[in-house]
Structure 1
């Protein structure tokens, strides 16, 4: 195994892999417009179900978690680069997060499930822990991964474990979104996404424990950067075994919640906890397999250009994807089940990869990455 490959290479490739998996998921779910076309033959419906179940098993809740982990790694690399020059990166990082929030708001116009804006806000959690020792950072991250608010809901449900709960609040917002996705003009979609859609997305993130899980993964990524883990294949071999063993019971309880043997009021918060843990465990499986293969299978570097242009790639896929599926554009939500939507996603991913290769042969960074970099270091003579 060649461990001399720069850890930046594997991080770029892994980020590109996450971008592609996000692209495929977003396409089969029509960019959060869940709609099953009618009149499809039975065999195609069966194929669609297999594709849907397989992609969500592999990437649902895991791709964004890979992104969060790498967000923390990138923060460490930037922080460390300034630290060795005797500079404090934290104030500049805060400004960088404000800029990311602006990109996220723009992206949210097109796709209300945008993660950039959420990462931008939760990224501030890295600033107070940047100078803490590894042990304290790990303790804080693990406490967040435990999903403290969901456990509080478990305690609240104990007196009446069989109480029937109302639907999660986010459902009403997503229900309203379906109407303007199907029939609204582009302006109505953009306005709806920035108001109704964004509130629904934030509520959904809260209801599903994402607002605790994301900063925890940021911190774990920072620790991985500090320890140089992306240059340590032995660590990832061990991580693969441990995470695979942990995933099995979590997945069984998530898939067959009746095994919990509790009432509905207790089951909901427990499933939030278990699903969060299952997703993190399988995310580590994916990262471990990718890192180990990367050092042996150099063809995985085909993902690197996408990873180097991840901001551009993420925003562009929102613009193009919603124009393909929503009613103001081609309205393809009416005709594409998971099979055809997956084919569209693969074509778009290949096109993005080729564009990234072409662009990076002529420029050091992607278009939006260049803007982000220049604005980050605005007014500074010492640019990284």
Structure 2
């Protein structure tokens, strides 16, 4: 035994996870709208609307996605093991397909997260072979220590110029292409420069190690049936809100103001930058724990119908996430309508909320007729190399 008991998966847990995934999708849309899908990255969001969105969802929505990615992986592997199937090779193929989808998506919107999740998702295969949940949590803890960043910091302290240099993304001209480039220039820049910038950002802010740690925690959550319990037990949900919320408040309002950052206009300083990157990781982790607890409280209350609105989008996050960019980028970027320079942050956020409302209606309509979202079906069929996977609900499942 693992020391942490494994429990049987319950159907109620699946619906709560769908709602949680839909909530994360909503959070990503809000962050992207606040920064005008990359056009506003170079100038930041200093207005109250932008600050509120980043307080609620910045470095948090993507973390929920990473947690659920590990959770979903463990669910798939457990289901296949129950059928006597070793799904390891097929899952690696599934990740390669997601990487391809993410690459095509990144040609239009390079800050997207699919490539990162797909590439780092390969770590889940060896993690699945660790049968002890305690060992998995210890591995997650090692990832959360941000050892690569600390090594870089130590190298910088010893005089290594490369380790002490300003991150690559801060010197990139990609943001100018976002603001002023043609569609062809955008695609060419995103193909190479966009990938370099993407990895620079995720390395510099410790997201590579953080995502790996969240993957491991997601596997443990699936094995222990934690989401099934928290969605039905208000005591567990309340305890999570209180404990995680207290930690978040201490880090956000007490520790964060006293941790130094590089002054505006000053030469880049690796030490304060690394300190804040590690601090922001723990702020984000404590925040998503509190958010999960709060959503579970609402789920187990008369507010379940409201939280349940996220279920539909949560079942087709791949389709809707890609759709965000294919709708927003031509509207906001200069090669299209150029509305990023016309709409302020408040307008973009309100329009994004309305757009997500339409996606809720679309998901409700779609799932009344179909089993999977469009990209979800394509991904599933390609993973299984079986294009007879039934899509319509009238069709008999294989």
Following superposition, the deviation at residue 380 of structure 1 comes to 10
**What residue in structure 2 maps to residue 288 of structure 1?**
293
Following superposition, the deviation at residue 180 of structure 1 comes to 2.1
**What residue in structure 2 maps to residue 32 of structure 1?**
38
Deviations, residues 298-340 of structure 1 (Å, cap 9, x unaligned): 2211111100000000000011111111011110111122111
Structure with larger RCO (C-alpha < 8 A, sep 6+): 1
**What residue in structure 2 maps to residue 224 of structure 1?**
221
- TM-score, length-normalised on structure 1? 0.89
Q: Flag the 1:337–1:167 CA change in 2: closer, same or farther, 3 A.
A: farther
Distance in 2 between the 1:148 and 1:355 partners?
Answer: 44
RMSD of aligned residue pairs (Cα, Å):
2.6
**What residue in structure 2 maps to residue 134 of structure 1?**
133
* Candidates 54, 57, 61, aligned match of 2:55: 57
**What residue in structure 1 maps to residue 113 of structure 2?**
115
Q: Flag the 1:5–1:126 CA change in 2: closer, same or farther, 3 A.
A: closer
Q: Is the 8 A contact 1:213 1:276 kept in 2?
A: yes
Distance in 1 between the 2:287 and 2:191 partners?
Answer: 32
Following superposition, the deviation at residue 145 of structure 1 comes to 0.8
- TM-score, length-normalised on structure 2? 0.86
Deviations, residues 8-47 of structure 1 (Å, cap 9, x unaligned): 000001111111111111111011111799xxxxxxx9xx
Superposed, 1:201-220 pairs within 5 Å as 201-220=198-217
Superposed, 1:137-216 pairs within 5 Å as 137-158=136-157, 166-173=165-172, 176-216=173-213
**What residue in structure 1 maps to residue 79 of structure 2?**
81
Distance in 1 between the 2:199 and 2:68 partners?
Answer: 22
Distance in 2 between the 1:65 and 1:333 partners?
Answer: 26
The answer to whether the aligner puts 1:304 opposite 2:311 as a matched pair is: yes
Following superposition, the deviation at residue 159 of structure 1 comes to 6.1
* Candidates 362, 372, 380, aligned match of 1:365: 372
Distance in 2 between the 1:165 and 1:137 partners?
Answer: 32
* More displaced 10-residue stretch of structure 1: 11-20 or 242-251: 242-251
Distance in 1 between the 2:41 and 2:260 partners?
Answer: 28
Distance in 1 between the 2:380 and 2:275 partners?
Answer: 42
Secondary structure class of the residue paired with 1:258: coil
The answer to whether the aligner puts 1:250 opposite 2:251 as a matched pair is: yes
Q: Is the 8 A contact 1:182 1:326 kept in 2?
A: yes
**What residue in structure 1 maps to residue 276 of structure 2?**
271
The answer to whether the aligner puts 1:343 opposite 2:350 as a matched pair is: yes
Following superposition, the deviation at residue 254 of structure 1 comes to 2.8
* More displaced 10-residue stretch of structure 1: 132-141 or 307-316: 132-141
Deviations, residues 137-170 of structure 1 (Å, cap 9, x unaligned): 111111001111122234345568xxx9643211
Distance in 2 between the 1:241 and 1:158 partners?
Answer: 39
* More displaced 10-residue stretch of structure 1: 248-257 or 213-222: 248-257
Following superposition, the deviation at residue 259 of structure 1 comes to 9.8
**What residue in structure 2 maps to residue 322 of structure 1?**
329
The answer to whether the aligner puts 1:21 opposite 2:22 as a matched pair is: no
Following superposition, the deviation at residue 352 of structure 1 comes to 1.4
Q: Flag the 1:158–1:192 CA change in 2: closer, same or farther, 3 A.
A: closer
Deviations, residues 96-120 of structure 1 (Å, cap 9, x unaligned): 1001101100110111111000000
Q: Is the 8 A contact 1:16 1:307 kept in 2?
A: yes
Q: Is the 8 A contact 1:150 1:270 kept in 2?
A: no
Deviations, residues 331-368 of structure 1 (Å, cap 9, x unaligned): 01111221111112112111211111111111101000
Distance in 2 between the 1:380 and 1:140 partners?
Answer: 38
Q: Flag the 1:78–1:237 CA change in 2: closer, same or farther, 3 A.
A: same
* Candidates 6, 10, 21, aligned match of 2:16: 10
**What residue in structure 2 maps to residue 102 of structure 1?**
100
Structure 1: give runs of 5+ residues left out of the alignment: 38-44
Q: Is the 8 A contact 2:312 2:360 kept in 1?
A: yes
